[in-house]
Structure 1
Amino acid sequence: MESFLRASKACLTTLNAYEKIIVVMGNPTCDLDSAVCALVHGFFVYTDRVQGQKNEKIAVIPIMNISKKEFRVKTEVVYYLGGHNLPLNLLTFRDEIDLRKLNAEGKLELILVDHHTLPKEDLSLADSVVEIIDHRPQDVTWSWSGRTINLQTVGSCATLVAKNILEKRRMLLDSQVSNLLRGPILIDTCNFSKEADRATPMDFDVIRQLEELNTLHPSRDQLYQDILNAKTDISQLTPDDLIIKDLKVVNGIPIVGLPILVENFIKMDGAHEALDSFAMKENTPFAILIGLDLKNDVVTRDIAVFSLSSNELENKVIEALMTSTNPKLELTETHRFSKSGRTLIHYKQGNVKASRKQILPIIQSVSRDCTC
């Protein structure tokens, strides 16, 4: 893996020498699943398309889909990759490569992992997409055709990446790569928690095969707890950092994923000011905050809606979340803060099995259909 990353990083200074640049890109949150999938699937593509070939002018570059300066807030990714002896200086970030220029030159082949939609600013890259691997439900507005597509609703995208390698190039799965894949599977399934109910038979089968191929350490429970500790270590992060740590934007609506409960976030010094600043910077009238606490294997979730001023779309989103039956969120309003026109409405989420991945389609549907 390290030799692949060194070769990948070296390509950045000689892009003009290549006829084709294959970029493997995770989603814009750059969470652990996204980061690992970009690296491991990139490694697979490199060994399949480039390594051992003669006179092949192809570069394969996995990229972290965030700027380099943002990477420090991805505490679990920094911890996990560093802990698996991957030099972080060999990673490539979104602001270190000009995808639009490569696309305009006709050199770009783009592989999307852990997402299958493109934000507005990346729409011009759509024609360069050649492959998609994602574990989210199909977004009906993105009916890709003519590409290699692997869309299956499983716990983790790493499950799909691992299954592909298990079937096609099993020899790549040494202890380092197997363990890299094991971490996001454990995190995304909440360590196969029955309460969270996020694992599928494929997740169980793939992690079993990875563990049978190599003697992997530490144990599942210890590895899960170690990653969770790194993910929830916010000691060096400010409220501004936490807002962008796991941020998704759906049809212009920011969805802030927090590694702590929202009720604890808003008690932090400067939290309300950070929300104000974020909303004004992003020019958005409101944002959704989704909190998660996994202490002692007990899942707790909450949601809040923050707005600079009341608006029709916000009201429709709130109504949709409150009345949703697929999934039913079981939201109970607990607090409502108002100050200088700013409002934050906090809800306890009774159905802890409903993750952000399942909540996003609700917001997508409302924001897409609203004529506000």
Structure 2
Amino acid sequence: MAGFIEYINSLPSLLTQLSSTSKLRVTIGNESCDLDSIVCALSYAHYWAVTGGNDWISLPLLSCRRDEFVLRTEAVEVFSQVGVQSDCLIFADDLPLDKLKSTECLEVTLVDHNHSSSRFPSNSVVQVIDHHELSPSTCVGCEGVRVTVEWVGSCATLTAAQLLSNPQSYSISPTVATLLLSAILLDTGDLLLEGRVTDSDKEVAGQLLESMPEGFDSHAHFKTLFKARFDNSTLTSMQVLGRDFKQTRVSDKYSIGFSSVTDSLVEFVSRDGFKEDITAFYQQQSLDVLILLGIYAPSGDHDNKRRHIAVYQSDGELPESIVSMLEASEQLQCVRVEGVGFEGVLLEQRNVKMSRKHILPLVAQFVADVERGHSPGATPAVPLEPVVTVVTAQGEVPIPEYSTHEEAEEVRAHRLVSVGGAEHVIDMTLVEPYRNIIQHAGYVGEERLAVMVVSSCHLPPRTLHNYKQVAQELFYYVMSVLDRIIVDQYMIVYLHSGAPPNSRPSLQLLRRFYELVDRRFRKQLTALYIVHPTFLVKSILTLARPFISSKFWRKVHFVPTLSELPAQVAIDDGLIPTAVKNADSAITRHRPPAVKYSPSETKGN
């Protein structure tokens, strides 16, 4: 069998040989068609071609349209390095559905996903190689399906391991090694992303490096691919607008589009032909409003990220109303940028922590209020984890949690946070049952202080077999929420009651978490209101005096009952769990309202 490049070059002719009597093996990646999915499909299809016998035709199928491939700029970059011609590849629109379903002898291998598809008969799946959780339509467990599903940083790790395990029949060439290693490096942040990279990733990457030419610098290679992932210079304005595009409908009347751009919008809207391209894109998508969200790092300084928001000025009053809302938002802190020659309004977004996942539901809620004839009034608070419907070729589905630029730092079911100068990747699958422990209650006072509500009734029980791990991940989750919401000063309302007795964390664990809290969060905290303080809480705080600063101690205030809380800070009743309300009723029945107590009043006692 020919080498890898020769095999890729032969794919168009192999495609023409297909008939209803062909014995066909197809290796299919997932629908996102990212680099990991692409290289796994190509390399494993070549493996089948080499080891599967001459009476079989082995084809890799990339699950995107041919005209969409150019948007995978990291794949374009690595292909140019190794000499893969994208014109020879087989895309979703090259292999008709009827050809697959009419083939009498069809075997399908799924890489980087595990769910069946209408593109092929479900009983044709013979193998699954994946590193994701099992989907509801998984092929895993079906009779006769060989399964390799393991939690690793990249599916390329599992694919490479299988190829490396059979050196007598298949020898990995430097080209295949480069492709697989590229995916592993990108998916694991150069093998440095804690919580994402595994020992298996490192071991397989080391084995692939042995196949690389002498002097190959994996770190420099990663930097090149990482830069290519966000490089828009080779794309037209139309392609950039559609590269990371989400569309949402509001009240079945308004269609609003959001294009995320990893570039300065001041420079992007100044491109030659931009006016014609954005007009054509707006009309092609049948939009009522088009909003551009730009993020970039001047001079490559990723500690100094900037954001822009641009609202395309089409006919009608709705875009103008949206601009007014954005400018009035205390959370976004937008300032209008003048003199850019854009047919619309361009805003600099000073609060760079607010991403599309926050802005999309903010705009959608505002438009819904306008449509219902309600005066929106104050800018609505941004939900911490909005769920928004988007329109895709497959119908209406929930919007993906992460946009293109965020994929480099976070992965689905994981979240990256920096605490104490160290990065930590949160396993959100552990946090999910307890994430209501912290909620954003809006802003109060002339200073617009953010109010966060923490409810102990959402703490995990200590009886969990992995309690320490869950508690740690929950702590990091709380830190990530604060990091995304807190811009300046804030206060916390801690609802102590309603929690099962076996969910109280130990004093040692609390001390450890306190020491990990970033100094800016301690400094920016103006007040901590503890509702329903018990004797145990007061005792713990007294014992904690030696390692709690006096400044922090003065910020702590006890509030005996919910009826006394509004005198300090008013929060929406819906944010108070039923368990807390029930506990409050029991407290107020058995004792008269207590006078507000502050730890600072006992100083020196």
Distance in 2, matches of 1:18 and 1:154, equals 38
Once the two structures are TM-superposed, the CA of residue 80 in structure 1 deviates from its matched residue by 0.9
Query: Any conservation in 2 of the 1:29–1:248 contact (CA below 8 Å)?
Result: no
Q: In structure 1, what is the equivalent of residue 178 of structure 2?
A: 179
Choose 175-184 or 199-208, whichever is displaced more: 175-184
Alignment pair present for 1:203 and 2:201: yes
Q: In structure 1, what is the equivalent of residue 34 of structure 2?
A: 31
Distance in 1, matches of 2:18 and 2:108, equals 15
**Partner of 2:83: helix, strand, or coil?**
coil
Q: Of the candidates 355, 367, 372, which is equivalent to residue 411 of structure 2?
A: 355
Alignment pair present for 1:130 and 2:126: yes
Superposed CA offset, 1:268-309 (max 9, x none)? 53899899668758x9x999x99898x578798864143684
Once the two structures are TM-superposed, the CA of residue 76 in structure 1 deviates from its matched residue by 1.5
Superposed CA offset, 1:223-264 (max 9, x none)? 011112222210233565246546899xxxxxx996838xx5
Alignment pair present for 1:166 and 2:150: no
Distance in 1, matches of 2:234 and 2:212, equals 35
**Partner of 2:165: helix, strand, or coil?**
helix
Alignment pair present for 1:63 and 2:61: yes
Distance in 1, matches of 2:224 and 2:30, equals 23
- Counterpart AA for 2:5: E
Distance in 2, matches of 1:273 and 1:118, equals 38
- Counterpart AA for 1:321: E
Q: Of the candidates 105, 112, 115, which is equivalent to residue 114 of structure 1?
A: 112
Alignment pair present for 1:97 and 2:95: yes
Query: Any conservation in 2 of the 1:185–1:203 contact (CA below 8 Å)?
Result: yes
Q: In structure 1, what is the equivalent of residue 594 of structure 2?
A: none
Distance in 2, matches of 1:45 and 1:189, equals 27
Taking structure 1 as reference, are residues 354 and 83 closer, same or farther at Cα in structure 2, changes over 3 Å only? Answer: closer
- Counterpart AA for 2:123: D
Q: Of the candidates 228, 231, 237, which is equivalent to residue 230 of structure 1?
A: 228
Q: In structure 1, what is the equivalent of residue 262 of structure 2?
A: 260
**Partner of 2:385: helix, strand, or coil?**
helix
Once the two structures are TM-superposed, the CA of residue 106 in structure 1 deviates from its matched residue by 3.2
Taking structure 1 as reference, are residues 197 and 25 closer, same or farther at Cα in structure 2, changes over 3 Å only? Answer: same
Q: In structure 1, what is the equivalent of residue 8 of structure 2?
A: 5
Query: Any conservation in 2 of the 1:290–1:303 contact (CA below 8 Å)?
Result: no
Taking structure 1 as reference, are residues 244 and 165 closer, same or farther at Cα in structure 2, changes over 3 Å only? Answer: farther
Distance in 1, matches of 2:409 and 2:227, equals 21
Once the two structures are superposed, the pairs formed by residues 332-351 of structure 1 within 5 Å of their partners are none
- Counterpart AA for 2:67: K
Once the two structures are TM-superposed, the CA of residue 35 in structure 1 deviates from its matched residue by 1.2
Distance in 2, matches of 1:357 and 1:273, equals 36
Query: Any conservation in 1 of the 2:41–2:111 contact (CA below 8 Å)?
Result: yes
Taking structure 1 as reference, are residues 15 and 96 closer, same or farther at Cα in structure 2, changes over 3 Å only? Answer: same
- Counterpart AA for 1:77: A
Taking structure 1 as reference, are residues 108 and 197 closer, same or farther at Cα in structure 2, changes over 3 Å only? Answer: same
Once the two structures are TM-superposed, the CA of residue 128 in structure 1 deviates from its matched residue by 2.4
Query: Any conservation in 1 of the 2:157–2:204 contact (CA below 8 Å)?
Result: yes
Distance in 1, matches of 2:20 and 2:98, equals 18
Superposed CA offset, 1:118-172 (max 9, x none)? 56xx365433222221122222453632312211111111111101111123642
Query: Any conservation in 2 of the 1:257–1:291 contact (CA below 8 Å)?
Result: no
- Counterpart AA for 2:172: L
- Alignment gaps of 5+ in structure 2: 248-257, 306-352, 369-381, 388-401, 416-426, 433-605
Distance in 1, matches of 2:113 and 2:188, equals 17
Query: Any conservation in 1 of the 2:154–2:183 contact (CA below 8 Å)?
Result: yes
Q: In structure 2, what is the equivalent of residue 144 of structure 1?
A: 140
Which structure has more helix as a fraction of its residues?
A: 1
Superposed CA offset, 1:300-327 (max 9, x none)? 886414368447xxxxxx857279xxxx
Q: How many pairs does the alignment contain? A: 318
Query: Any conservation in 1 of the 2:19–2:103 contact (CA below 8 Å)?
Result: no
TM-score scaled by length of structure 1: 0.69
Query: Any conservation in 1 of the 2:129–2:148 contact (CA below 8 Å)?
Result: yes
Once the two structures are TM-superposed, the CA of residue 83 in structure 1 deviates from its matched residue by 1.2
Distance in 1, matches of 2:123 and 2:52, equals 21
Distance in 2, matches of 1:361 and 1:104, equals 42
Query: Any conservation in 1 of the 2:128–2:140 contact (CA below 8 Å)?
Result: no
Query: Any conservation in 1 of the 2:36–2:156 contact (CA below 8 Å)?
Result: yes
**Partner of 2:17: helix, strand, or coil?**
helix
Distance in 1, matches of 2:238 and 2:219, equals 31
Superposed CA offset, 1:34-77 (max 9, x none)? 11111101111111102xx4xx2x21111222121222222221
Alignment pair present for 1:321 and 2:324: no
- Counterpart AA for 2:128: I
**Partner of 1:77: helix, strand, or coil?**
helix
- Counterpart AA for 1:144: V
Distance in 1, matches of 2:152 and 2:122, equals 25
Q: In structure 2, what is the equivalent of residue 43 of structure 1?
A: 46
Choose 17-26 or 78-87, whichever is displaced more: 17-26
Q: Of the candidates 12, 21, 24, which is equivalent to residue 24 of structure 2?
A: 21
- Higher-Rg member (1/2): 2
**Partner of 2:27: helix, strand, or coil?**
strand
- Counterpart AA for 1:304: R
Query: Any conservation in 2 of the 1:80–1:227 contact (CA below 8 Å)?
Result: yes
Taking structure 1 as reference, are residues 106 and 266 closer, same or farther at Cα in structure 2, changes over 3 Å only? Answer: farther
Q: In structure 2, what is the equivalent of residue 304 of structure 1?
A: 356
**Partner of 1:30: helix, strand, or coil?**
coil
Taking structure 1 as reference, are residues 278 and 209 closer, same or farther at Cα in structure 2, changes over 3 Å only? Answer: farther
Distance in 2, matches of 1:183 and 1:116, equals 22
- Counterpart AA for 2:160: A
- Counterpart AA for 1:127: N
- Counterpart AA for 1:176: T
Superposed CA offset, 1:5-44 (max 9, x none)? 2343211111017522111111222221111111101111
Query: Any conservation in 1 of the 2:134–2:140 contact (CA below 8 Å)?
Result: no
Query: Any conservation in 2 of the 1:9–1:61 contact (CA below 8 Å)?
Result: no
